[in-house]
Amino acid sequence: MSRFSAPIAAQIWDMKYRLKVSDGTPVDLTVEDSWRRIARALAAPEADPAAWEDRFYTALEDFRFLPAGRITAGAGTGRNVTLFNCFVMGTIPDSMAGIFDMLKEAALTMQQGGGIGYDFSTIRPKGADVHGVAADASGPLSFMDVWDAMCRTIMSAGSRRGAMMATMRCDHPDIEDFITAKQDAARLRMFNLSVLVTDAFMDAVKADGPWELQFDGKVYHTVQARDLWNRIMRATYDYAEPGVIFIDRINQMNNLAYCEDIAATNPCGEQPLPPYGACLLGSINLARLVRDPFEAGAGLDEDALDELVATAVRMMDNVVDASRFALPQQEEEAKNKRRIGLGVTGLADALLMVGLRYGSDEAARQTERWLHRIARAAYLASVQLAKEKGAFPLFDADKYLASGSLTHMDQDVRAAIAEHGIRNALLTSIAPTGTISLYAGNVSSGIEPVFAYAYTRKVLQKDGSRTEEEVVDYAVRLWREKFGDAELPDYFVNAQTLSPAEHVKMQAAAQKWVDSSISKTINCPEDIGFDAFKDVYLQAYETGCKGCTTYRPNEVTGSVLSVAEEKPEQARAEHIPVADGTNPVPPGDVVYIADPLDRPQALEGNTYKLKWPDSEHAIYITINDIVISGRRRPFEVFINSKNMEHFAWTVALTRMISAVFRRGGDVSFVVEELKAVFDPRGGAWMQGKYIPSILAAIGGVIERHMIAIGFIDGEGMGLKSDPQIDAMAVGDAPRGPACPSCGAFDMRMVEGCMTCMSCGYSKCA
């Protein structure tokens, strides 16, 4: 019998975590093979690897402990990838040479699969003097554009794009430009942005006082603090960025405040890290630990929780020794402090299974109790490891125990640390778990509420037919198994029915016992007033949160749920039948392909000639299309040239673009990626337009072909759609924007990042 409780779980495992050789042949024949591979790799640093391998396997079994994706996909594979999820890079020097040294380090880190964070506050503002060259500085945002372009060209390990976080202090002279930078939809697409908000600034906001914008001791501007705060809030209200990080609180509560200063976080914000800081992640699946779900005596098996946490801490500590690192500074930082980020997933499901409404006062209290239990078990497990293997090298008992997050720790835990030391400087974090939550049977993600209790997912089969799968929340599936079609109780609430204050309440309850931070989205209704929206951030600040990320559906960010009164049949009645009398796929529907389609014997296509200025030979681009249910879509590309200098990259591009096209979905992103490539040697003028590179010119040819066959609406636009079809009937599953990876209309803001719940694609990698 399969361990997977739903088809989507098996598909996620096969696509993302199953070890395969280069031709796609599986090495892991079953998920048990994957668990054994991970357990064996993480037991290798132990004195008795065989004994610990079995214990680690038991922790992984039935999805009870879920190492983060990089560990699950990379451990035991022998591949040159990092098992760490999060990096903050070194402090950026305020010099041209130093800036580009940092750019190189970022490229090397993303090449191995790490998401990175940077503080751009250290770069002098736009217009400042550049001594010795009689010039004005271009400012940090200009260099962020360079980082963004670099990130576009690097595909992270495991087919995951690099993700980046950029932070800037609220007193930097360019902060106002930073706040509005992403209101240009074409700019900084590879970045998440967050403002580093200080306690002094919040005091000035409350007092409606002045606020100085300064750099290197020089005051450039003075603004009203409340006006600047309102600009941050308005940008977030309208564009969902920038986020807000309460940086003073992060440093005050840091266990390592005595030996490091933090000014940036990883892309999703749950890991504030010092320069070259690295952290690895994993989650306890609380939904798997509830005894007698939905019964009067339902409760979390706390003894099992303690044991599982202790095993997970040991496994994650071993990852520090088993992982590769892109840079020696990252390895040194990781081994000096041995930071880990143990978190949870399935919290909302666990609360439902014990009869509690997410967002209620009792649910918040229960969350705090459970997280306290996890923190206590994690710290005691790390003390035990210190007794066996030694404390982390920078441990100083007096300074460590005086840090902010240790002051309220249980006295017996503090005494154990004082006597024996501790192996890991920080232990807890709540990270995004969208993909691993699907892999574990669609448990609720992280500490988020359930987004949708059930939704329908379309899958295109190799023969061209489409099937529909119902994806059901883990707790709802258990409810159905116990009570059949009985109506769900009132305490079954979802992300859209909760008030923002209830979201914040749950984040604050968890934060008390999380020594790093939390990745969570505060869902706000579209019609929330601006003043009420601002109050959400003030509530987060006043209740002890370390940051705040909101999502308000609107025309810019995309509506999570469109509602129409028509039945689906009425909304789709205008489809034009094809010659055989069947209704084709609606123009706005996206075909999702679980596996590449087989190539038919014959395809229709077009060949285009591209003559790049100053090049002796033209490039010929052939694009062939496949017709699926009456709709024509690109299937493969061939790029040819007599110029042998072009041979290697044209072959590579042919293979890569064709592979993407054969996977289906909204492949129009290929055009965007190619058109964004610039050649540092210069582009060319073609037909009255400046084209930044020959690759961008190829992207333009593919775009024109997509327009010609009706696949996209027009230049710079996405899938061709019909407003009638985009509407949904009341009661339909929530529908977000199309996923750029699989094309499913299932993108959701989860834990601070747009994530596809059909295939697991995440903007934050």
Residues 586, 576: Cα–Cα separation, whole Å: 9
Q: Which residue has the tokens 């023969």?
A: 463
Nearest CA to 544 among 506, 571, 590?
Answer: 506
Residues in the chain: 765
Closest-CA residue to 14 (of 760, 765, 762): 760
pLDDT at 753 over 60: yes
519 and 751 Cβ atoms separated by less than 8 Å = yes
Say if residue 725's pLDDT is above 80.
Answer: no
Query: pTM higher than 0.85, yes or no?
Result: no
The yes-or-no verdict on residue 570 having pLDDT over 70 is no
Q: How many CB atoms lie within 10 A of CB 577?
A: 10
pLDDT of residue 676: 80
The mean of the pLDDT values for the chain is 86
64 pLDDT above the threshold of 60: yes
Residue range 396-420: average pLDDT? 95
User: What's phi and psi for 625, nearest 5 deg?
Assistant: -120, 155
Provide the 3-class DSSP secondary structure of residue 553. coil
For the annotated catalytic residues, the residue numbers are: 266, 268, 270
Task: Look up residue 543 and give its two tokens.
Answer: 């209740």
Between residues 161 and 45, the one the model is more confident about: 45
pLDDT of residue 688: 75
CA–CA distance, 663 with 652 (Å, rounded to integer): 17
Secondary structure (DSSP) of 47-102: SSHHHHHHHHHHHHGGGSEEE-HHHHHHTTS--S-----EEE-PPPPSSHHHHHHH
Higher pLDDT, 489 or 2: 489
pLDDT tens-digit series, residues 230-283: 999 999 999 989 999 999 999 999 999 999 999 999 999 999 999 999 989 999
145/153 Cα distance (integer angstroms) = 13
**pLDDT at residue number 599:** 74
Over its C-alpha atoms, the chain yields an Rg (Å, rounded) of 26
Question: What is the reported pLDDT for 645?
Answer: 79
CA distance 436 to 433: 5
Does residue 185 register a pLDDT over 80? no
The owner of tokens 């041209």 is: 96
Give the pLDDT mean for 338-353. Answer: 97
Q: Other CB atoms closer than 10 Å to residue 649's CB: what's the count?
A: 13
Least confident window among 126-140, 256-270, 351-365: 126-140
At 532-552, the pLDDT tens digits run 999 999 999 999 999 999 999
DSSP labels, 330-349 = HHHHHHHH--EEEEEE-HHH
For residue 569, the model assigns a pLDDT of: 35
**507 vs 584, residue with greater confidence:** 507
Q: How confident is the model at residue 612 (pLDDT cuts 50, 70, 90)?
A: confident
Least confident among 508-522, 576-590, 662-676, 727-741: 576-590
**Residue in the structure block whose two tokens are 């705060």:** 229
Q: How far apart are the C-alpha atoms of 56 and 49, rounded to whole Å?
A: 10
Per DSSP, 664 falls in state B
H/E run at residue 167: strand 164-169
The encoded tokens of residue 431 equal 């990270």
